[in-house]
Amino acid sequence: MELRLTDEQKMVQKTIRQFVEKELMPLEPEVLRNEREGKPSISAEKIKQLRQKAADFGFWGINTPEEYGGADLGQMMLALVTMETSKTFVPFSFGGYADNILYYCNDEQKERYLLPTISGEKKSCFAMTEPDAGSDTRRIKMTAVKDGDHYVLNGEKTFITGGNEADFVMVMAVTDKEKGPEGVTCFLVDRDMGWESHYIDTMGDWGPASLIFDNVRVPEENILGELNGGYKLGLEWIGFARWIVGARAVGASERLLQMAIDYAKERITFGKPIAERQAIQWQIADSAVEIEAAKWLVFNAAYTLDRGEDNRHLASIAKLYGANMGNRVIDRVLQIHGGMGYTKEMPIERWYREARLWRIYDGTDEIQRMIIARNLLKGHVKLGDFL
């Protein structure tokens, strides 16, 4: 068993870190200014330029299969990359990416949806959550009624990331209500088919959407996967996303803890730097320990997925611990900075608001605990087994 990064992984980590420090972090003052003025944090043209610079370094389609022009570096590498890019709040992601369930497209759908998404010509979003079906995904009510060679969709989705910008949506709808979750189907629905999106204001800078479907006609050929097979696809999408939240928390927490360490060395009270105060030292020490613990939980979930093994239990653990760790660390960092941490002169308050979301989306703390406990109580996972 090898518990160290390979030379290739270290090289990628170093290169991504340099890219983040050189290209992204200098944009942070501009992003903060734009967000506080109610403007887009960064222009689409700037994102395009940054992605081209990254592509020139070979970072395009990091986890996309080689047959689609990607690097296919694997989940461990994706975890490393996510941790590094999360050390800034500049909203950047590498190009050449498509949601994992889009690879279930048939050949004709790949031409219309998968390939344009990978190339950046189209933007997608995933829609499962409804006003009365958040964590309890079995309560989906959106209907899809067969009408000739079309389905007519009616209902609402809410808190949809990317819903305001998407060209098409992967949406879950009930096609056979008698079958419960086994009667849910996933549809690929273009915006020009008639659905509407509405911006939802939040306490953070995440701007999700509510999607309204009012008699939206979708061709039968736009079913993704199989009829009544959508619920399984939805769980696969959610399961993949969970451990990524932990990776984001690790990256952001490392950046913020370093800010606290630097500030503690400079801030003088009663003739000494606060770094010499035990109260500050213990907050720094506790944060460092928790970050390392979360990091290994994320790596384990990613490594397990790379081996083709079921990582859902580990993903829930990584998400639950990582999200809560991030909240604790950011709270300590703000406390160490005192009044300055609470001001908008520093980005800590922004991260503070963003971090609170980590414990809610892609499955709340309560849902993760329910999953972990259920797996143990029903014997799906046994304590002491090597994972």
**Residues forming the active site:** 99
In whole angstroms, give the CA distance from residue 143 to residue 185.
Answer: 10
Query: What are the distances in angstroms from CA 244 to CA 6, 63, 105, 122, 361?
Result: 21, 13, 23, 23, 12
DSSP state of 302: H
Give alpha helix (H) positions in the chain: 7-19, 28-36, 44-56, 75-85, 107-109, 115-119, 230-266, 278-306, 312-337, 339-342, 348-358, 365-377
In whole angstroms, give the CA distance from residue 281 to residue 227.
Answer: 57
Strands 124-127 and 168-174: parallel
Query: What are the distances in angstroms from CA 78 to CA 81, 301, 355?
Result: 5, 12, 20
User: Could you tell me the sign of the dihedral formed by the alpha carbons of 16, 238, 204, 163, in that order?
Assistant: positive
